[in-house]
Structure 1
Amino acid sequence: MAEALWGKEALLPGLRVGHFTDREALTGCTVVLAEEGAVAAVDVRGAAPGTRETDLLAPENTVERVQAVLLTGGSALGLAAADGVVRYLRERGKGFPTPAGVVPIVPAAVLYDLGRGEAFRPPGPEAGYGACLAAGSEVAEGSVGAGTGAVAGGVKGGVGLAGYLLEEGFRVMALAAVNSLGRPFDPLTGRLYAEGLLAPEERALLPDLSRYRGSPEDYRFPFLLGQNTTLAVVATDAPLTKAQAKRLAIMAQDGLARALRPAHTPLDGDLVFALALGDGQGVDPMTLLRLGAYAADALARAIARGVLLAEGVPGVLAYRERVAGGPSEF
């Protein structure tokens, strides 16, 4: 049985995570730095994605490794934040070698949080640079970074991190920014869809549901249609090839579907990046199968943690507020 990890223990050695949080504008960005390079892939399931440099992650394309991945608010306007990550890495000599010097490879993806704060200020280059400066081994969760203005099925969304240590000695982790159309909980019972995957220690975060009263009418679609997207990064220290990293991303998507209903809709841009920190020589199929299975569980847990640790904002209750006796209307 794999060991569940969370907090600092879930973050892989060799990776650093940083947030830039703009509470006035209710937006921000989150960077995952792999400055020594990581084999990377992506799987896009939502029908409305906003991305940068994802084509080069296809297994048949040339560049094998990336130096960072950026998850950002601001819709397509927030892609500018990746320029700040590129600047940070180039200043430190990290990137793909070319005759004119290194070119940092920074795939990025966006979620929609425009207009949710008191100011209209999508993340730009300084936000991406600031997230890099803040990166470390302590990872804040909840309403921070790319999750600052996120909303998950009518309750406040956020950033969550979870992982596993497998019997083989490999580790796998998932970082999610949850801004979904689909709900993370059953409207009739108030229970999180991913609740059964939480470790015993994580269950201490669950709210008291004794006052919750749902009704069949709560299954109607919540507000913010077309202002959604859940973004995730799964990572492992196993030596995956680029094609195997793609399979890891594909399998991890099942965790998104377990934690959010519905998922991968015409109005979301859901996607999962995969990073592998090993030497790229590959693993056997059974090891890849187990890594993918636990990546899905880690992603479901990360989504649950992002929702559980989020703090409400004016007009949008946190999940814990909503189910512990808040208004029944979204």
Structure 2
Amino acid sequence: MDEPAQAPSGSVGDVPGVRVGHAQRVGEGWLTGVTVVLPPPGTVGGVDVRGGGPGTHETDALDPRTLVPTVDAVVLTGGSAFGLVAAHGAQRWLAEQGRGFPVSDVPGEVVPIVPAAAVFDLGRGGVFGHHPDVAMGWAAAAAAGAAEPGADVTRGTVGAGTGAALAGGRWKGGVGTASVRLDELGVVVGALVVVNAAGAPLGLGAPASAPGGPLGPDGAPRVTALPGEALNTTLAVVATDAALDPAETSRTATAAHDGFARALDPVHTLADGDTVFSLATGAVALPAERPARVAALVAVQAAAATAVRAAVEDAVRSASGVRTSAVHLPSWC
């Protein structure tokens, strides 16, 4: 397959039917939020968890060997393990719409499939106990449901990226997004990321293999051990309109992790919860015969890694106007 016909740009919203909603709270001790990616009904889901400190919900349900191959929404949240309750809010909103896995013949008796993952931003607004809740998850899902098809996706310090920081506070983290069009296949591959990494962004003036340290009072990096602040994570949702089966969708998530490695150093550490979800809406059929299909899958998976790398860079640039002093780094970091 040739290289992607178009350089990375755009957003995950370029994949037809995929919508994104954010909810966040800032001030009075708050600096956190939730992002919901809402795909069209029937979308196949997959996941690959690589970090040594993951905070996840319902990722086992995305194993290709399990009963339900489809996903109703993906929730990315702040608040570490506490924030995973936001998935219940998104699930509640979906149930109100009658969307989910039917468990009886009675209309509306459904169980929405809502995998989720969290980033560590506890205390960054000043109060450790301020983290996303069910109401915030519901609000982010409702915002995604209200988004116009094809609408641009808000990036920067919004949603799950509101309290994000990386490289020990040297950079403000946030939400970024990008897409790649594979003209030969008629396929779009998009990525949305929440960058809250222990590592530093490559190509933006950061030394390789240097997580750095929290900023001191004079604004200079304070090199310390980072027992708390090192609990970080980069999350991604990769979406495509290609028709993939559950195993192919999960493999796309695996390949997409290469985008993290191209954009951040170090990555996949013991202190990161790096996780990639993948979504395949099934709108565009790929070749059926094996040689051509394998080539098409390689192209889609390579584009996923490219889109993730571009989305990470987009997140860092989009949040660059926010001073890291806006992020409270507690003394235990």
Q: If the length of structure 2 is used for normalisation, what is the TM-score?
A: 0.82
Residues 273 and 33 of structure 1, relative CA distance in 2, 3 Å threshold: same
Deviations 1:270-326 (A, max 9, x none): 010000000697651111100111110100000000000114245268xxxxxxxxx
**8 Å Cα contact 1:242/1:280 also seen in 2:** no
Does the residue aligned with 2:310 lie in a helix, a strand or coil? helix
Distance 1:222 1:238 in 2: 44
Task: Return the letter of the residue paired with 1:227.
Answer: L
Distance 1:300 1:178 in 2: 11
Distance 2:207 2:306 in 1: 14
Could you tell me which residue of structure 1 aligns to residue 117 of structure 2? 109
**8 Å Cα contact 1:35/1:89 also seen in 2:** no
Residues 222 and 253 of structure 1, relative CA distance in 2, 3 Å threshold: farther
Does the residue aligned with 1:230 lie in a helix, a strand or coil? strand
**8 Å Cα contact 1:39/1:280 also seen in 2:** no
Sequence identity (%): 47
**8 Å Cα contact 1:192/1:259 also seen in 2:** no
Does the residue aligned with 2:113 lie in a helix, a strand or coil? coil
Question: Deviation of residue 221 (structure 1)?
Answer: 7.2
Question: Deviation of residue 263 (structure 1)?
Answer: 0.3
Q: Structure 2 residue aligned with 1:77, among 68, 79, 82?
A: 82
What pairs up with 1:157-176 in 2 under 5 angstroms?
157-167=173-183, 168-176=185-193
Does the residue aligned with 1:276 lie in a helix, a strand or coil? strand
Question: Deviation of residue 152 (structure 1)?
Answer: 1.6
Question: Deviation of residue 8 (structure 1)?
Answer: 5.4
Distance 2:269 2:17 in 1: 34
Could you tell me which residue of structure 2 aligns to residue 23 of structure 1? 26
Task: Return the letter of the residue paired with 1:252.
Answer: A
Could you tell me which residue of structure 1 aligns to residue 311 of structure 2? 302
CA RMSD after TM alignment = 2.5
Does the residue aligned with 2:61 lie in a helix, a strand or coil? helix
Could you tell me which residue of structure 2 aligns to residue 144 of structure 1? 158
Does the residue aligned with 1:291 lie in a helix, a strand or coil? helix
Of residues 122-131 and 35-44 in structure 1, the stretch that sits farther from structure 2 once superposed is 35-44
What pairs up with 1:1-330 in 2 under 5 angstroms?
1-7=4-10, 10-24=13-27, 25-99=30-104, 101-119=109-127, 120-135=129-144, 136=147, 137-153=151-167, 154=169, 155-167=171-183, 168-185=185-202, 190=205, 225-278=229-282, 284-310=293-319, 311-313=321-323, 315=325
Task: Return the letter of the residue paired with 2:83.
Answer: G
Question: Deviation of residue 118 (structure 1)?
Answer: 3.4
Deviations 1:213-258 (A, max 9, x none): xxxx989678554320000000100000000001100110000011
**8 Å Cα contact 2:53/2:231 also seen in 1:** no
Distance 2:65 2:12 in 1: 34
Question: Deviation of residue 10 (structure 1)?
Answer: 5.0
Distance 2:263 2:114 in 1: 28
Does the residue aligned with 1:160 lie in a helix, a strand or coil? strand
Give ranges in structure 2 of 5+ residues lacking alignment. 209-219, 288-292, 328-333
Moved over 2 A (4+): 4-11, 217-227, 279-283, 311-317
Distance 1:18 1:76 in 2: 21
Of residues 43-52 and 282-291 in structure 1, the stretch that sits farther from structure 2 once superposed is 282-291
Distance 1:56 1:9 in 2: 23
**8 Å Cα contact 2:8/2:310 also seen in 1:** no
Distance 1:300 1:221 in 2: 28
Q: If the length of structure 1 is used for normalisation, what is the TM-score?
A: 0.83
**8 Å Cα contact 1:192/1:304 also seen in 2:** no
**8 Å Cα contact 1:26/1:117 also seen in 2:** yes
